[in-house]
Structure 1
Amino acid sequence: MESSIASVGGSGDEGSQNFDDGSKPSYKRLTSVQTARLERFIRDCPHPDEVQRRQLAAETGLEPKQIKFWFQNKRTQIKNQHDRADNTALRIENNRIYHENIVMKEALKNILCPSCGGPPYPEGKHEHVIQKMQLENAQLKKEHDKVSALLGKYLEKQISPSDLQQALNPITGSSSQSPTLGNSQNPQIDGSSSCANRSLGKQIVDGGDHLSSKSSSRSEAVETSLMSKVAIDAIDELVRLLRVNDPFWTNNASAQDEKLILNHENYEKVFPRNNHFKGVNMHVEATKDSGIVSINCIQLVEMFLDSDKWANLFPAIITKAETITVLESGSQGNRSGALQLMFEKMHVLSPSVQPREFQFLRYCRQIESGVWVIVDVSYDTFQQKTSSFHSWRYPSGCMIQEMPNGHAMVTWIEHVEVDDKIQPHQLYKDIVHRGIAYGAERWIMELQRICERFACFYVENIPDADSPGVVNSLKGRRSVMNLSHRMLKIFCESLTMSGNLNLPHSNMENNGGVRLSMRKNTDPGQPNGMIVVAATSLWLPLHYMKVFEFFTDEKRRAQWDVLCCGNPAHEVAHISNGIHPRNCISIFQPFIPSESNALILQESFTNPMGSYVVYAPTDVAIMNLAINGEDSSMLPILPSGFVISADGKPKASLGAFNDVHVEVIEGSILTVAFQILESGSDGNDMPNMEYVSAVNTLLASTLRKVKDALNCNNLE
């Protein structure tokens, strides 16, 4: 077929190209069959090679070069068609956007201020609005600086605004209370968004009160996020310190024991810290200990997360505990994820040492099946202009591991920084600074003691070790134990010596001097009126167990107890309170013919960290109510007692010059405290000097009798 091949693109130019040898091809018009075959092939292979072109030529009866040119023209045609379609679509879209833009500009002119993006204001109010915006800007800047400073304080580094938003953004996940900082969809935070400008303008229009409320709500949301961040970082640190000894923990070789103390140099390489307190009175205490307690794990976790039960667990350590706010209650059944802000006041049961106060976050997490970690870390809220606390708790707390038979293994870490504005008395310096007074070992031993008490409380049968006495029922036994536990708590609280009195005649020639205080009591369960408290501490050259055995010896009670009036006393009831035979509750009846109605309730217990003998006078009528199983929570009781502990000094030291082993006298520290009620008080808050003098005389007389009985009269 002759006549030129029609250009696939329509022009025919590409179809009339010369061959490589300079000759012109013989042009043939393609039949419909040939065209259909080529179009089917180009859909699968737009760029055929030489072999494929020869094969097509053979199939269609065309020359290979005709095949080549046809494919070139077809590809060009397809490309041009696509370009024209794209251009048409873009032209239509551009025209639509152009018209939409015009409409939006016209609408914005009517509803927004062109300079700030907010609603327009009359000329007369413009300056007023500007002033409000400046105040809001200053307030936001101040709020940001405060958050940045606090976060820097906890993360131990300075952070930029962008870092601040990044740190706070992912803290609480999908919680409905979580602030979405750094998100351009949040009109309260992202200043670059026009939505933020509109929101700010609306706040200003609604007035200052609404603005302040929004700012306060935003501040609370940021603080909630910060508290979560601090708690999560703290528990991660604590888990590492709990599970790894080397290189963080070392044995205290200088104290000749196996107590674990923190290696501060290695610790700070991993967890850099800045001191929260400055000056010569600042010191750090960090200890670690573990022990097995006879209590169910989840029951113990629940007690830790209830401030009242927490204080009841450690009456000899915690004077006051309070849950300020609950941020998360945790998962039902295991309490994992529980987070709360708490306050506690701690003491060493001596007026010679200042109590410690902490405001801290407590966070609970179940890290694996049967294992919980509870962390405490100090936290100052935004509302506090300056911290009033002189104690700072770094990540501390415990790991509770489930064991067979309902027991639990508890590993405890106590890590605090203290600024002793008022130095502890010389008697207690070794105990406090060596981490004995508030260390992990004391927490573990107190927990073991109270768990033993729980076991005795819930026993179904009266043990054979307990004499039948006058308490013959389980209900009566538990009522007496509750009364005794409350007596111990009241005694411990009295030793914080709130409302100290500075009286010239209160000085005595002993190690600690006498501290006096007076309080007006209206609480149920204690006698109403003015109560005078007197306490002192002194060193004795005797092992603490010898002193404890002296005070718990029934036959020697008349040597020191003024309530016996020099007469012997008989134990009419005995209730076991722990494994040690002298960990018990006793009811004594003094042999006083003229006072046959008088009884003495006493609780005593001992462990290597300290011993206690607490007692209170009562009468037969009150005690019968408890013995018969009545509620004893309102029965009036006013305890006094003794606290005995080791002096905390090393048991041996080396001679400084002659390298001779020198034994140091093993001593103990005895704290004595008495409380008396002003009978016939007129209701005023002024101390009655007659009663102050009486309690001071009682204290001096008892100390003299104790030193006589223990052959310690040569003490200065």
Structure 2
Amino acid sequence: MEYGSTGGGAASSSGGGDAADAQRKKKCFHRHTAHQIQSLEAVFKECPHPDEKTRLQLSRDLGLAPRQIKFWFQNRRTQLKSQHERADNSALRSENDRIRCENIAMREAIKNVICPSCGGPPVEHTYFDEQKLRMENLQLKEELDKISSIAAKYMGRPIAQLPPVQPVHLSSLNLMSMSNFGLPGPSLDLDLLPGSSTSTVPSLTFPTLNISDMDKSLMADIAGNAMEELIRLLQTNEPLWTKSTTDGRHVLNVDTYDQIFPKANSSLKNPNVRVEASRESGVVIMNGLALVDMFIDVNKWAEFFPTIVSKAGTLEVISCGIMDSRSSTLQLMYEEQQVLSPLVPTRHLYFLRFCQQIEPGSWAIVDVSYDITQENLYPPSSCKVHKLPSGCLIQDMPNGYSKVTWLEHVEVEEKGSIHRLYRDLIHSGMAFGAERWLGSLQRMCERDACLMVSGNSSRELGGVIPSPEGKKSMMKVSQRMVSSFCASINPSNGHQWNNISTTNEFEVRATLQKCTDPGQPNGVVISAASTIWLPVPPQHVFNFLRDERTRSQWDVLSNQNPVQEVAHIANGSHPGNSISVLRAYNTSQNNMLILQESCIDSSGSLVVYSPVDLQSINIAMSGEDTTYIPLLPSGFTILRDGRHDGGSNEASMNNNNDTMGEHNRTGGGRGGGSLVTVAFQILVSSLSSSAKMSPESVNTVNNLIGNTIHQIKAALNCSNFEFNSAAALNTEYR
């Protein structure tokens, strides 16, 4: 194997060139020794893409420059790729010739075929069609038996004993099913929204991708280069990264980045492209290898980030990597990212995820966009997102902890205008930035760690104190409730939001979809949501909404009845991270309770609740299977509005309710406000063939959300404040 150019010979002296010019023009010629080539080949068999540490070690062992080592591996990969291409082309040509000959022979045979009965042309036999139908019927019968067994377990009796379903034309909302306390409420006549469908929503599936060895080699090269860039971005500070003087966040110096990575930033010449770059670091209560497993397993990935990841899937596993360390694992993945509001469209990404163990106890995981040539894999988003090398560096610490440094770096081209409420948050990079990812990871790892802590609930429920199994069961059913709530705010798979009301204060959007999965009420569910701005810090809004003592001030269905927390499970170090079972007094149904989970991290917070009967709570408390407990969650999401809050986030999170009154009297002070999304889910008691909402239904849904918003504003003393969008409207962002 040769390094450099193989052309030799001195430069021509014609034209009067001097000896110095001839010496400079003389091309280098170097041939590796047999020992060097043998050593390089041995390493190449084990790892065709060595990292910088391996290349430096080879340079020292073989007496070659690191640049020579790098070029040798590049040339060897190119040579191997060419050999594979020639072999593939030869095999394809042979197969093509064989099929052509077989096709010609079959054509000649068909010309001579006659019917043995009449001597005429042959008639196609239906035997194979019948066999195909028999096989399809057998598959359908197996699916029916499976569904019947699930239904029997859910209904508590064999499916054969269930009464036949009679078609019902009347469609009404059953507010009892979404009421906090099972209180009787006004019934609604609600038909399906225009364009909605009652067909079962298909799961996230992708067609089989035909990825050749050449494509896989290209993916490996892209991932390897992205890994090198990620490590440099994570380990370099000034002048590549500078700290903001307003909020202390790391800001990428674009000019310096262009100089270091000129090719990676070529698309920034497009004036419509906006760059979002952020970097954060923190300590996580989970060991490094467990974190790596979570990144690689797409189901765990989506489960850990329900507030950010609405859909995720692995399209192809390019390399399984080393089993013990997960090093060199390479996957082609899909992800749909969300902000929990119907006003913000989701972002769709196809990307490569590559894991590399840097040293013992240290891993780097990089994500980089990869273009998919096949069309119609998934509906496009209203903004085009290209992910530059992003990811995290995971370093093991004592006591099972890990230090995680997270980097998010994307180019975004908006195809439409951003809603005025979310312009500051999105353009600041906080909506999808590293701080949000790391904060969610820290909170979910704390939640898992709480399962290992021994201790019972501080309050009994009907004499039942949850065992460790009961605590785990309660946390599991609550996590399912939160995931269902997040999925309802950003419906996908063809379910679109419909704007049913717009006022100066807020707009209400709704959608319908059919629920058939276990653990959900069977029928059509309407999801209605609205987002408002409040001149109150997010921590104060969160404290107000999660406190059972102030619930009667905003819950229009409670009829101002007092509420008591009868069971409490902490699932994090922050007092706001908890699971509660609430009971309302002076209600007509004493067996109806509320399961509520409140969670908060550095990027935002949630308050999610669902009505649950006493029997279901006792089942969960005893540690039994909670898969079939029906949940129909509603609740609130609280985010910062993206404006400078005049203080550190830690100080904001450590404030308590005592400061709320002074803040309200001053109208919000210097700080930024909160973006609060109010979301309800309501079960339709029966199906309807109609495809539109009646005016009465629209008014009832609008009144439900409108009254809730007005009572929240009144309780927080900010009824007269409106979102000032002048700065957002008069500023052009690039």
TM-score clears 0.5: yes
1:608 CA displacement: 2.7
1:223 to 215, 224, 229: 215
Q: What is the rounded CA distance, in whole Å, between the counterparts of 1:209 and 1:708 in structure 2?
A: 81
Per-residue CA distance 1:562-581 (angstroms, 9 max, x = gap): 34232011111000010111
Q: Which residue of 1 aligns with 2:100?
A: 207
**3-state secondary structure, aligned to 1:630:** coil
8 A contact 1:295–1:408 mirrored in 2: yes
8 A contact 1:297–1:408 mirrored in 2: yes
1:316 to 307, 312, 327: 307
1:222 CA displacement: 1.4
2:362 to 356, 371, 380: 371
One-letter amino acid of the structure 2 residue matched with residue 235 of structure 1: M
Q: What is the rounded CA distance, in whole Å, between the counterparts of 2:508 and 2:272 in structure 1?
A: 24
Per-residue CA distance 1:152-172 (angstroms, 9 max, x = gap): xxxxxxxxxxxxxxx999689
1:258 CA displacement: 1.4
1:551 and 2:545 correspond = yes
One-letter amino acid of the structure 1 residue matched with residue 530 of structure 2: T
1:491 CA displacement: 0.8
Per-residue CA distance 1:408-432 (angstroms, 9 max, x = gap): 0000000011112133211111111
1:243 and 2:235 correspond = yes
Q: What is the rounded CA distance, in whole Å, between the counterparts of 1:457 and 1:478 in structure 2?
A: 6
8 A contact 2:247–2:644 mirrored in 1: no
Question: Which deviates more from structure 2 when the two are superposed, residues 367-376 or residues 236-245?
Answer: 236-245
Q: What is the rounded CA distance, in whole Å, between the counterparts of 1:247 and 1:350 in structure 2?
A: 36
Larger RCO: 1 or 2 (CA < 8 Å, sep 6+) = 2
Q: What is the rounded CA distance, in whole Å, between the counterparts of 1:569 and 1:444 in structure 2?
A: 34
Per-residue CA distance 1:542-594 (angstroms, 9 max, x = gap): 11111111112221111112342320111110000101112100000111341
Q: Which residue of 1 aligns with 2:502?
A: 507
Per-residue CA distance 1:140-189 (angstroms, 9 max, x = gap): xxxxxxxxxxxxxxxxxxxxxxxxxxx99968989xxx993323993445
Distance change in 2, residues 1:199/1:692 (3 Å): closer
1:401 and 2:398 correspond = no
1:685 CA displacement: 6.2
1:262 and 2:255 correspond = no
Query: Alignment identity in percent?
Result: 43
Q: What is the rounded CA distance, in whole Å, between the counterparts of 1:217 and 1:448 in structure 2?
A: 35
Q: What is the rounded CA distance, in whole Å, between the counterparts of 1:218 and 1:172 in structure 2?
A: 26
Question: Which deviates more from structure 2 when the two are superposed, residues 679-688 or residues 541-550?
Answer: 679-688
Per the normalisation by structure 1, the TM-score is 0.68
Aligned ranges 1:356-367 → 2 under 5 Å: 356-367=347-358
Distance change in 2, residues 1:619/1:310 (3 Å): same
1:232 and 2:231 correspond = no
**3-state secondary structure, aligned to 2:552:** helix
Q: What is the rounded CA distance, in whole Å, between the counterparts of 2:99 and 2:73 in structure 1?
A: 32
1:705 and 2:711 correspond = yes
Per-residue CA distance 1:627-651 (angstroms, 9 max, x = gap): 1211112211011111112211123
Per-residue CA distance 1:350-409 (angstroms, 9 max, x = gap): 111111111111110001010000101111134349994611111100010000000000
8 A contact 2:321–2:330 mirrored in 1: yes
Per-residue CA distance 1:454-494 (angstroms, 9 max, x = gap): 0112223337xx43444431111111110110111111111
Distance change in 2, residues 1:455/1:685 (3 Å): farther
**3-state secondary structure, aligned to 2:721:** coil
1:295 CA displacement: 0.5
**3-state secondary structure, aligned to 1:316:** coil
One-letter amino acid of the structure 1 residue matched with residue 96 of structure 2: Q
Superposition CA RMSD, Å? 3.0
8 A contact 2:456–2:465 mirrored in 1: no
One-letter amino acid of the structure 2 residue matched with residue 200 of structure 1: R
Q: Which residue of 2 aligns with 1:32?
A: none
Distance change in 2, residues 1:223/1:292 (3 Å): same
Q: What is the rounded CA distance, in whole Å, between the counterparts of 2:440 and 2:333 in structure 1?
A: 21
Distance change in 2, residues 1:337/1:687 (3 Å): farther
Distance change in 2, residues 1:407/1:602 (3 Å): same
One-letter amino acid of the structure 2 residue matched with residue 300 of structure 1: L
Unmatched 5+ stretches in structure 2? 1-69, 104-207, 648-667, 723-734
Distance change in 2, residues 1:566/1:199 (3 Å): closer
**3-state secondary structure, aligned to 2:81:** coil
Per the normalisation by structure 2, the TM-score is 0.66
Per-residue CA distance 1:604-641 (angstroms, 9 max, x = gap): 02223111111111111222221121111221101111
**3-state secondary structure, aligned to 1:186:** helix
Q: Which residue of 2 aligns with 1:181?
A: 81
1:706 CA displacement: 0.8
Q: Which residue of 2 aligns with 1:477?
A: 471
1:297 CA displacement: 1.0
Distance change in 2, residues 1:221/1:543 (3 Å): same
One-letter amino acid of the structure 2 residue matched with residue 224 of structure 1: K
Unmatched 5+ stretches in structure 1? 1-166, 190-195, 211-215, 654-661
Distance change in 2, residues 1:404/1:715 (3 Å): same
Q: Which residue of 1 aligns with 2:730?
A: none
1:240 CA displacement: 1.0
Distance change in 2, residues 1:287/1:501 (3 Å): closer
One-letter amino acid of the structure 2 residue matched with residue 352 of structure 1: L
Q: What is the rounded CA distance, in whole Å, between the counterparts of 2:485 and 2:329 in structure 1?
A: 32
**3-state secondary structure, aligned to 2:426:** helix
Q: What is the rounded CA distance, in whole Å, between the counterparts of 2:407 and 2:328 in structure 1?
A: 20
Question: Which deviates more from structure 2 when the two are superposed, residues 612-621 or residues 683-692?
Answer: 683-692
Q: What is the rounded CA distance, in whole Å, between the counterparts of 1:494 and 1:482 in structure 2?
A: 19
1:589 and 2:583 correspond = yes
One-letter amino acid of the structure 2 residue matched with residue 415 of structure 1: H
1:520 and 2:514 correspond = yes
Q: What is the rounded CA distance, in whole Å, between the counterparts of 1:259 and 1:708 in structure 2?
A: 35
1:252 and 2:258 correspond = no
**3-state secondary structure, aligned to 1:180:** helix
Q: Which residue of 1 aligns with 2:455?
A: 461
8 A contact 1:675–1:695 mirrored in 2: no
Q: What is the rounded CA distance, in whole Å, between the counterparts of 1:347 and 1:623 in structure 2?
A: 31
1:651 and 2:657 correspond = no
Q: Which residue of 2 aligns with 1:579?
A: 573
One-letter amino acid of the structure 2 residue matched with residue 500 of structure 1: Q
Q: What is the rounded CA distance, in whole Å, between the counterparts of 1:633 and 1:609 in structure 2?
A: 30
Q: Number of aligned pairs?
A: 521
Structure with greater Cα Rg: 1
Distance change in 2, residues 1:385/1:713 (3 Å): closer
1:217 CA displacement: 11
Distance change in 2, residues 1:219/1:207 (3 Å): farther
8 A contact 1:277–1:419 mirrored in 2: no
8 A contact 1:179–1:225 mirrored in 2: no
1:539 CA displacement: 1.0
Distance change in 2, residues 1:588/1:683 (3 Å): farther
Q: What is the rounded CA distance, in whole Å, between the counterparts of 1:536 and 1:514 in structure 2?
A: 5
Aligned ranges 1:122-161 → 2 under 5 Å: none
Distance change in 2, residues 1:497/1:424 (3 Å): farther
Distance change in 2, residues 1:225/1:570 (3 Å): same
1:715 and 2:721 correspond = yes
Distance change in 2, residues 1:321/1:568 (3 Å): same
Per-residue CA distance 1:72-102 (angstroms, 9 max, x = gap): xxxxxxxxxxxxxxxxxxxxxxxxxxxxxxx
Distance change in 2, residues 1:244/1:561 (3 Å): same
1:601 and 2:595 correspond = yes
1:673 and 2:679 correspond = yes
**3-state secondary structure, aligned to 1:454:** helix
Q: Which residue of 2 aligns with 1:38?
A: none
Q: What is the rounded CA distance, in whole Å, between the counterparts of 2:450 and 2:420 in structure 1?
A: 38
One-letter amino acid of the structure 2 residue matched with residue 257 of structure 1: D
